[in-house]
Chain A
Amino acid sequence: MSTERVLDVSKLPTYAYGNRSLMWWGTWGMILIEGTVFVIALVTYYYLRDFSQTWPPEGDPPRLLFGTLNLVILLASGWPNQWAKKAAEREDLRAVRIWLVVGLLFSVAFIVVRGFEFPALNTHYDANAYGSVVYMILILHTVHLVTDTVDTLVLTVLMFTGPLEGRRFVDVAENSLYWWFVVLSWIPIYCTLYLAPRML
């Protein structure tokens, strides 16, 4: 066969970062789906608010302390998360290990404080529709948080034990992208659960 009629791809890299990789697209697919879930849950919150004379219908709004503490922890976790991503893109295994472990410590701290958040909501899921939607939103976010913490834990163990190849660094980078989704989705949720009942 003549050389002009073929396209040789044997010298191309066998993996790539960012929007060149399939993992990036798959992760964004998950973010779109779950982002839509959060948006619909928040819309439900504001929809139900229209059916009540006062908001919350009874009792006080959620106590600010633990939710705000978690906002700080989550935003702070952005640093180790981003450094883990950068280290993965440099394929610097030592730095990847360090920043993944630091990131995990933030996640665990967040989950512990989340345990104090539920009792501080000043409502209960079977009290009224307000309580139902507040619990549902907080549980949805917690599920994402725990899932990504487990993901990160598995990746971290893999980074220490192997087997490793270049493509695994792409997994670390895309895991960081997903963590950003968990972090940034908390901002509108925090504003809704904690600030909306006080300000609106």
Chain B
Amino acid sequence: MSYPEENEAALHRTWSERPGWLGWLMAVNHRTIAKRYLVTTLLFFVAAGIMALLMRLQLARPENTFLDTDRYSQLFSMHGSVMMFLFAVPIMEAVGVYLVPLMVGARNIAFPRLNAFSYWIFLFGGLMFFAAFLLNTGPEAGWFSYVPLAGPDYSPGKRTDFWAQLITFTELSALVVSIEIIVTALKMRAPGMSLDRIPLLVWAEVVTAFMVIFAMPAVMLSSTFLITDRLVSTHFYNPAGGGDPLLWQHLFWFFGHPEVYIIFVPALGMISQIIPTFARRPVVGYLGLVMALVITAFLAFGLWVHHMFATGLPPLGMSFFTAASILIAIPTGLQIFCWIATLATGGQVRFATPLLFVIGFFFTFIIGGLTGVWLGSTTLDSQLHDTYFVVAHLHYVLIGGAIMPLFGAFYFWFPKVTGRLLSESLGKWNFWLFFIGFHVTFFPMHALGLDGMTRRIYTYGADRGWQELNLVATVGAFILAISVLVFIVNVIVSLRRGALAGDNPWNASTLEWATRSPPPPYNFQFIPVVESRDPLWQKGERRHVVGLSNEVRSVLITAIHDAQPDHTTTFPSPSLWPLLSALATTGLFVGSIFTPWAVLWGSIPVAVGLIGWFWPSHRETEINRRLEIKPESPAR
């Protein structure tokens, strides 16, 4: 065997997951975990979509008796909670877990066992939530669970407690993934990938991860206050005990508004990868695009009160939050102009399915952005608050702003993940049904909202004159459902019979396209050296790294600003401990719904799990000692 072949065989031995079902449970490869996240989140997406269809059936005609009010309340609360906590945020992070290490030229994500743990926690939280719903214990106070409606007096039983613990599960998982993404992007980049050469999707994922870190503690803490108010009679939200119901809204929206951008910012990154690829030129205004992402993140934390304009806060505060809300249109506008400039000045633009979805994004998101500027104004908001106008707006920005680019991203990166291209003809059907179905569903809701139809009502009188538009919306929802079905068929068919993709089917410029499709367990046989912002469009032979051990899971750590090689380190091997720790943590979280003592006694198995996880093995320590090279001057 020649050296490259020998090296490849050794890398394969070192980096492969273990075989068998036990190996499946021990997996730590970032792409394995990301694929599990993607499949799980998409299943939750379909489930929450079916719930939406049930609600649309109920609203298709006035005074319908298909669903009763209690079932309807659980359905809309489930739909919102599942879409936000079990689909939109985790799928955006899953894309990051898959792509960030590949795009920066790393062999795995930082803290790979933590990554496996995050997935198990996410899965168990989701399963708990659906199990509770099927046992008629689904949430009933909306995805934002306002008190006092969600408090002990108006939501007796365990329904809201399961909702509060869903938050704990999903936010824990999102928080640890954020740390992994930040550390991977800052410290594990291929040599030469200085800060100004980082792909825009990686920037977007880093900005998102920082937003998660500062936003999600607010909802974890506020849902803990909620559950203690409900279970052990604390008084955080109880005015009779000196508490305040609006405290919930402040804490929830301090998280909830950035949450929207946590979903939206990764989508911006996806668009910034797709557009230059199809326009066949480097993106226009790279620095501006990065700054726009960062500014959007900062502004996102100054907007939360615009969800509370109807609560009677001081007028000066209202003016501040109106100004901040409208200000956020500036960085968004800047990005849209950069993208248009890229498309307009590029080569022959190829309108493949990924780009179609991006163009669908432009059209839809701009409408959603404009109604957002309306709603940012206190006076108009007071009229439209809690009507279907808001339902229309939020679906325009979330589906238009995030889900359309996400579908574009599926078509774009599917060949990298599976080695086969999705069918373009089914893709066109997928796009047009989605685009038409979306607007048929949600555009009429603007009119319904202006006409006074409030959110979260399970039926309406025949005399209101809302039935035609509601029927149109229901028809649209089924067109959307058919579109998603076309997508699923496309995935199943293309997995078997899709055209073979090769390494770089779109002739894109970033590092994930420099390796095989699907990539080998070690991602790159040789870590590339990066010399420009679009390394694969660079002429001439590319440099690469040699000298990384292939005997252990050796990775290269680089300096934060210029990505010069700093040291190497060994990554952990597959392990059952993340799963065991996640099971113990699940026991603690679910147990605490029933007794506060579960927090005390449940912490013992969690501690055992984490200690077992940390404790080093003699065999691996021996190998590491043999390969060890001490830092030059340990005591700085």
Residue numbers of A with Cβ under 8 A of B are 5-22, 25-26, 29-30, 32-34, 36-37, 40-41, 44, 47-48, 51-52, 57, 86, 89-91, 125-133, 135-136, 150, 154, 158, 162-169
Is chain A's interface secondary structure helix, strand, loop, or mixed overall? helix
Residue numbers of B with Cβ under 8 A of A are 110-111, 175, 178-179, 182-183, 186-188, 191, 213-214, 216-218, 220-221, 224-225, 228-229, 232-236, 238-239, 241-244, 247, 250-251, 254, 529, 541-549, 556-557, 560, 565-570, 607, 611, 614-618, 621-622, 624-625, 627-632, 634-636
Q: What are the residues of chain B within 8 A of A17 when measuring CB–CB? A: 631, 634, 636
Check A40 against B631 for contact (C-beta < 8 Å).
Answer: no
Check A26 against B183 for contact (C-beta < 8 Å).
Answer: yes
User: Given contacts A33-B213, A129-B241, are A13 and B629 in contact (CB under 8 A)?
Assistant: yes
CB distance from A44 to the nearest CB of B (A): 7
CB distance from B220 to the nearest CB of A (A): 7
User: Given contacts A29-B213, A163-B618, are A9 and B243 in contact (CB under 8 A)?
Assistant: no
Alpha-carbon distance A131/B243, docked complex (angstroms): 10
Among A16, A29, A34, A128, contact of B235 (Cβ-Cβ < 8 Å): A128
Q: What are the residues of chain B within 8 A of A12 when measuring CB–CB? A: 547, 556, 565-568, 629
Alpha-carbon distance A103/B235, docked complex (angstroms): 37
Chain B residue at smallest Cβ distance from A87: B635
User: Given contacts A14-B627, A126-B232, A166-B628, are A47 and B247 in contact (CB under 8 A)?
Assistant: yes
Closest 5 interchain pairs by CB? A10-B547, A29-B179, A132-B234, A163-B621, A129-B242
Check A48 against B242 for contact (C-beta < 8 Å).
Answer: yes
CB distance from B389 to the nearest CB of A (A): 31
Check B217 against A126 for contact (C-beta < 8 Å).
Answer: no
Q: What are the residues of chain B within 8 A of A37 when measuring CB–CB? A: 217, 220-221
Check B217 against A14 for contact (C-beta < 8 Å).
Answer: no
Alpha-carbon distance A129/B179, docked complex (angstroms): 33
Chain A residue at smallest Cβ distance from B626: A165
Check B178 against A29 for contact (C-beta < 8 Å).
Answer: yes
**Given A7-B191, A37-B221, A89-B636, 6 more pairs with CB closer than 8 A:** A11-B629, A16-B557, A22-B188, A128-B241, A135-B234, A136-B224
Alpha-carbon distance A163/B626, docked complex (angstroms): 13
Check B569 against A22 for contact (C-beta < 8 Å).
Answer: yes
Alpha-carbon distance A44/B611, docked complex (angstroms): 34
Check A167 against B624 for contact (C-beta < 8 Å).
Answer: yes
Among B235, B239, B560, contact of A126 (Cβ-Cβ < 8 Å): B235
Q: What are the residues of chain A within 8 A of B213 when measuring CB–CB? A: 29, 32-33, 36
Listed A/B pairs (20) with beta-carbon separation below 8 Å: A7-B191, A7-B565, A8-B546, A8-B547, A12-B629, A14-B569, A15-B567, A15-B631, A17-B631, A17-B634, A29-B183, A33-B217, A36-B214, A37-B220, A44-B236, A128-B235, A129-B244, A132-B236, A163-B622, A166-B625
Chain A residue at smallest Cβ distance from B244: A51
User: Given contacts A17-B636, A22-B557, A51-B243, are A9 and B628 in contact (CB under 8 A)?
Assistant: no
Alpha-carbon distance A153/B367, docked complex (angstroms): 57
Check A14 against B617 for contact (C-beta < 8 Å).
Answer: no
Check A5 against B243 for contact (C-beta < 8 Å).
Answer: no
User: Given contacts A26-B183, A89-B636, are A9 and B242 in contact (CB under 8 A)?
Assistant: no
Among A6, A30, A90, A168, contact of B545 (Cβ-Cβ < 8 Å): A6
User: Given contacts A12-B568, A15-B631, A168-B616, are A5 and B544 in contact (CB under 8 A)?
Assistant: yes
Check B546 against A13 for contact (C-beta < 8 Å).
Answer: no
Q: What are the residues of chain B within 8 A of A41 when measuring CB–CB? A: 221
Chain A residue at smallest Cβ distance from B552: A14
Check B566 against A16 for contact (C-beta < 8 Å).
Answer: yes
CB distance from B172 to the nearest CB of A (A): 10
Alpha-carbon distance A36/B218, docked complex (angstroms): 8
CB distance from B237 to the nearest CB of A (A): 9
Alpha-carbon distance A10/B247, docked complex (angstroms): 56
Check A47 against B244 for contact (C-beta < 8 Å).
Answer: yes
Chain A residue at smallest Cβ distance from B528: A7
Check B611 against A165 for contact (C-beta < 8 Å).
Answer: no
User: Given contacts A11-B547, A13-B567, A128-B241, are A91 and B179 in contact (CB under 8 A)?
Assistant: no
User: Given contacts A32-B213, A37-B217, A44-B251, are A154 and B611 in contact (CB under 8 A)?
Assistant: yes
Q: What are the residues of chain A within 8 A of B182 when measuring CB–CB? A: 25, 29
Q: What are the residues of chain A within 8 A of B251 when measuring CB–CB? A: 40, 44
Q: What are the residues of chain A within 8 A of B242 when measuring CB–CB? A: 48, 51-52, 57, 128-130
CB distance from A171 to the nearest CB of B (A): 8
Check A6 against B616 for contact (C-beta < 8 Å).
Answer: no
Q: What are the residues of chain B within 8 A of A167 when measuring CB–CB? A: 569-570, 624
Check B110 against A26 for contact (C-beta < 8 Å).
Answer: yes
CB distance from A104 to the nearest CB of B (A): 16
Q: What are the residues of chain A within 8 A of B560 when measuring CB–CB? A: 19
Q: What are the residues of chain A within 8 A of B236 when measuring CB–CB? A: 44, 48, 129, 132-133
CB distance from B526 to the nearest CB of A (A): 8
Q: What are the residues of chain B within 8 A of A165 when measuring CB–CB? A: 616, 621, 624-625, 628
Q: What are the residues of chain A within 8 A of B616 when measuring CB–CB? A: 158, 163, 165, 168
Chain A residue at smallest Cβ distance from B624: A165
Among A11, A18, A48, contact of B243 (Cβ-Cβ < 8 Å): A48
Alpha-carbon distance A170/B272, docked complex (angstroms): 38
